[in-house]
A and B are shown apart, each in its own frame.
Chain A
């Protein structure tokens, strides 16, 4: 019995020593996709995992994620305030290693900021914040969105070749999960927009009917009356419609049954 136990113990040590931790990350990412409430929450978890994996005693790594939103870079997630500040700093300058990596869709390493000649303003500001090396790894999202994982170290040459391949492997796994998260988010946003539209349309249609009855006019004319009232008073069409209904019947709450 004891022999067997020690045998099993020895056996389980072998895969742990194996330098391929991929299945572990894969499972973790799947859980994150299911647990995340929104895209920003998911990206924050990604940043936390990346920073924890690449940090070593004496070389703490900060991780931020920048996403292109409406053609503008936005710092959406980070493992700590320092990373977020650095991302925002770079987005403020509209240029830097991470934005360059994002544009070129390739990993970019700045081994020593003191020796870097590009992005002069940003590198100076980043150095003042205690950063010495930067690794930027873009996430390949197959054209659905653009995102880059930004890693900052306080040490010059803070990223080894092994760190770079670890970061790249993680980024490619994370990208697949992120695409799923984005798709789920888009679908639920579309669903919410549709539910809002159904509510609004009911109120507006009802008001149109009321105006038609009061003015003995066509639907088109009723629509024109309503839209004119909306634009001259600068009130949303839906709110004008609600006022019309309230003035007739005193009802303030018009609900649409919408099956979830």
Chain B
């Protein structure tokens, strides 16, 4: 499942690092998965809810553009809540 070595070790290490950070952030926020997915979809997100779940459990690699959108969805949702 993990394409380690596909982009060279540095690239995949970085992706794994980001993935771990995103997963940890998601656990801390206590956001419901469905809420995050719907918001991410609203930003133009292109992966389904189950793949998002897998990514957040560090079990799936997804394109870096989607990673950025997930991070953005989390940030915007959290900011919206604290307002």
Contact = CB atoms under 8 A, between A and B. Distances in A.
Interface residues of A, number: 23
B38 A200 contact: no
Interface of A is mostly: helix
A227 B69 contact: yes
B72 interface: yes
B17 interface: no
Interface in A200-218: 200-201, 204-205, 208
A220 B35 CA distance: 24
Interface in A148-197: 190, 193-194, 196-197
Nearest to B69: A227
Given A190-B34, A231-B72, A237-B76, A224 B41 contact: no
A71 interface: yes
B35 A193 contact: yes
B68 interface: yes
A127 B41 CA distance: 52
B39 A197 contact: yes
Nearest to A72: B30
A71 B42 CA distance: 27
Interface in B39-55: 39, 41-44
A57 B65 CA distance: 67
A71 B35 CA distance: 17
Nearest 8 Cβ contacts at the A-B interface:
A197-B42, A200-B42, A193-B38, A204-B44, A197-B38, A201-B42, A197-B41, A70-B30
